[in-house]
Amino acid sequence: MLMRGGTSKGAYFLAEDLPADPDARDALLLRVMGSPDERQIDGLGGGHPLTSKVAVVSPSTDPRADVDYLFLQVAVAESVVTDRQKCGNILAGVGPFAVERGLVPAGEERTAVRIRMVDSGDLATATFATPGGRVDYTGDTEIAGVPGTAAPVTVEFSPGDGVLLPTGNVRDEIDGIPVTCVDNGMPTVLMAAASLGVGGHETPEALEGNTALTDRLHAIRLEAGRHMGLGDVADTTVPKLTLLAPPRNGGAITTRTFIPVRCHTSIGVLGAAGVAAGLRIEGGVGADLAHLPTGSDRVRVEHPTGHLDIECGIGTDAAGRPVARRTAVVRTARKIFDGTVFPRPAQPLKDPR
Which residues of the shown chain bind ligand NQM in the complex (CB under 6 A)?
Answer: 7-8, 49-50, 87-90, 186, 237, 240, 259, 268-271
Classified as helix, coil or strand, 259 is coil
Alpha-carbon distance of 266 to 263, in angstroms, equals 9
Query: Quick one: 88 or 286, whose CB is closer to ligand NQM?
Result: 88
Q: To the nearest whole angstrom, how small is the minimum distance from the Cβ of residue 251 to ligand NQM?
A: 18
Do 8 and 319 contact (CB within 8 A), yes or no? no
Q: Give min distance, CB of 303 to ligand NQM, in A.
A: 10
CB of 55 or CB of 106, closer to ligand NQM = 55
Q: What's the closest the beta carbon of residue 156 comes to ligand NQM, in angstroms?
A: 14
Instruction: Output the smallest distance, CB 274 to ligand NQM, in A.
Output: 8
Give the nearest distance from C-beta 232 to ligand NQM in angstroms. 19
How far is residue 159's CA from residue 309's CA, in Å, rounded to a whole number? 18
The minimum distance between CB 197 and ligand NQM, in angstroms, equals 24
Q: What is the DSSP string of 236-250?
A: S--SEEEEEE--SSS
- The one-character DSSP state at 151 is -
Within 110-260, residue ranges assigned H as helices are 204-208, 211-227
Nearer to ligand NQM, 240 or 307 (CB): 240
Comparing CB distances to ligand NQM, the nearer of 18 and 87 is 87
Report yes or no: 109 and 131 within 8 Å, Cβ to Cβ.
yes
**Which helix (H) or strand (E) segment is 278 a member of?**
helix 269-280
Q: Which is nearer to ligand NQM, 3 or 50 (CB)?
A: 50
Nearer of residues 186 and 198 to ligand NQM, judged by Cβ: 186
Compute the least distance from the CB of residue 267 to ligand NQM, in Å.
7
b/e burial code for range 101-124 (CB count within 10 A of at least 16 → b):
bebbebeeeebebbbbbbeeebbb
Residue showing the smallest CB distance to ligand NQM in the complex: 268
* Sequence-ordered strand ranges (E) for 83-217: 110-117, 123-129, 152-157, 172-174, 177-183, 187-192
Judged by beta carbon, residue 130 or residue 265, the one nearer ligand NQM is 265
The sign of the dihedral angle between the CA atoms of 250, 153, 97, 138 is: negative
